[in-house]
């Protein structure tokens, strides 16, 4: 079977399973099997595939057809120009979250300290350290499995990040930072069953923000002032309809609250400065 025939067959299978972007996913899967750039694979349509590669390719196509996320099958996801390892133990980094990382690189003071809460795969913490090597970066997560993935990413990308296990600020109970950032769980619990099937494969603990989606923001708003240095900044990713609600939660302890939009024009990040 040629590359062209394999892709056509895979696309038909994925379309039949209701997979969005069926052709593109087939191309990425075959590129992974062949360890070659996707565009090069697409241009080699007459190349005949070995039985071993065909077997591996279609086994992955069947996994995708069962709506397993493409990133878990490939084992990687790009973020801020870096390639991160991802497994079912971690939330898949999104392009939306790059808005949060970009703001963190801009507002962290030279030689400052940063804390990433709910680090998951470590994408935010590792990318921040790579882009701002002058910073001292600490990251926490409640999941030991997620932290294992985060440490692997830090090692692979040569980023010196201090990862600690525990609930939000517990592992840094006596420390203060110039910058705290987080992409916390923010989906209301009742909306989880209606999410796209692929998203439901991601860890519930990385998605479930409580009954109204604001559970973690309340905790962070209450506890962050005790962990920020004077004039320290807080950066939070938010759902596109949560900006004003999060602004209200931060109003008591913070000033200069701003909301930033992502590339799609949706509200995505709240920035606040600790009140003096």
pLDDT at 273: 97
Judgement on whether residues 85 and 126 belong to the same structural domain of the protein: yes
Judgement on whether residues 202 and 247 belong to the same structural domain of the protein: yes
Judgement on whether residues 90 and 60 belong to the same structural domain of the protein: no
pLDDT at 276: 82
CATH number at residue 213: 3.40.50.150
**What total of structural domains would you count in the chain?**
2
Q: What's the pLDDT tens digit per position in 259-270?
A: 999 999 999 999
Judgement on whether residues 45 and 117 belong to the same structural domain of the protein: no
Judgement on whether residues 143 and 270 belong to the same structural domain of the protein: yes
Judgement on whether residues 125 and 143 belong to the same structural domain of the protein: yes
Judgement on whether residues 37 and 138 belong to the same structural domain of the protein: no
3-state secondary structure the chain: CEHHHHHHHHHHHHHHCCCCCHHHHHHHHHHHHHCCCHHHHHCCCCCECCHHHHHHHHHHHHHHHCCCCHHHHHCEEEECCEEEECCCCCCCCCHHHHHHHHHHHHHCCCCCEEEEECCCCCHHHHHHHHHCCCCEEEEEECCHHHHHHHHHHHHHCCCCEEEEECCCCHHHCCCCEEEEEECCCCECHHHHHHCCCCHHHCCHHHCECCCCCCHHHHHHHHHHHHHEEEEEEEEEECCCCCHHHHHHHHCCCEEEEEEEECCCCCEEEEEEEECC
Domain edge (last residue) among 15, 39, 67: 67
pTM: 0.92
pLDDT at 44: 87
Q: What's the pLDDT tens digit per position in 243-261?
A: 999 999 998 899 999 999 9
pLDDT at 45: 86
Judgement on whether residues 137 and 227 belong to the same structural domain of the protein: yes
Judgement on whether residues 180 and 124 belong to the same structural domain of the protein: yes
Domain edge (last residue) among 46, 67, 88: 67
pLDDT > 90 fraction of the chain, expressed in percent and rounded: 96
In this prediction, the residues of the chain whose per-residue pLDDT falls under 70 are none
Judgement on whether residues 83 and 220 belong to the same structural domain of the protein: yes
CATH number at residue 22: 1.10.8
Judgement on whether residues 138 and 184 belong to the same structural domain of the protein: yes
pLDDT at 252: 86
Judgement on whether residues 24 and 98 belong to the same structural domain of the protein: no
Give me the domain span that covers residue 165: 76-274
């Amino acid at each position: 079977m040629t590359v062209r025939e394999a892709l056509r067959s895979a696309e038909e299978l994925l379309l039949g399973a209701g997979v969005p972007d069926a052709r593109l996913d087939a191309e990425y899967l075959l590129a992974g099997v062949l360890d070659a750039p996707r565009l090069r694979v697409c241009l080699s349509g007459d190349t005949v595939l070995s039985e071993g590669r065909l077997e591996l390719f279609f086994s992955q196509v069947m996994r995708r057809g069962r709506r397993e996320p493409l990133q878990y099958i490939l084992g990687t996801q790009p973020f801020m120009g870096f390639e991160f390892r991802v497994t079912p133990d971690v939330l898949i980094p999104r392009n939306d979250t790059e808005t949060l990382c970009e703001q963190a690189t801009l507002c962290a003071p030279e030689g400052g300290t940063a804390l990433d809460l709910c680090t998951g795969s470590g994408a935010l913490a590792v990318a921040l350290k790579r882009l701002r090597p002058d910073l001292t970066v600490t990251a926490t997560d409640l999941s030991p499995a997620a932290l294992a993935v985060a440490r692997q990413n830090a090692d692979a990308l040569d980023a010196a990040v201090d990862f600690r296990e525990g609930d939000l600020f517990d592992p840094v109970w006596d420390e203060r930072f110039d910058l705290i950032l987080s992409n916390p769980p923010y989906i209301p619990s009742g909306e989880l069953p209606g999410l796209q099937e692929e998203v439901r494969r991601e860890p519930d603990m990385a998605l479930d923000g409580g009954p109204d989606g604001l559970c973690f923001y309340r905790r962070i708003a209450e506890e962050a002032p005790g962990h920020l240095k004077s004039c320290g900044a807080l950066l939070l990713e938010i759902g596109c309809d949560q900006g004003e609600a999060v602004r209200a939660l931060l109003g008591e302890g913070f000033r200069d609250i701003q909301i930033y939009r992502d590339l799609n024009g949706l509200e995505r990040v709240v920035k606040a400065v600790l009140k003096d």
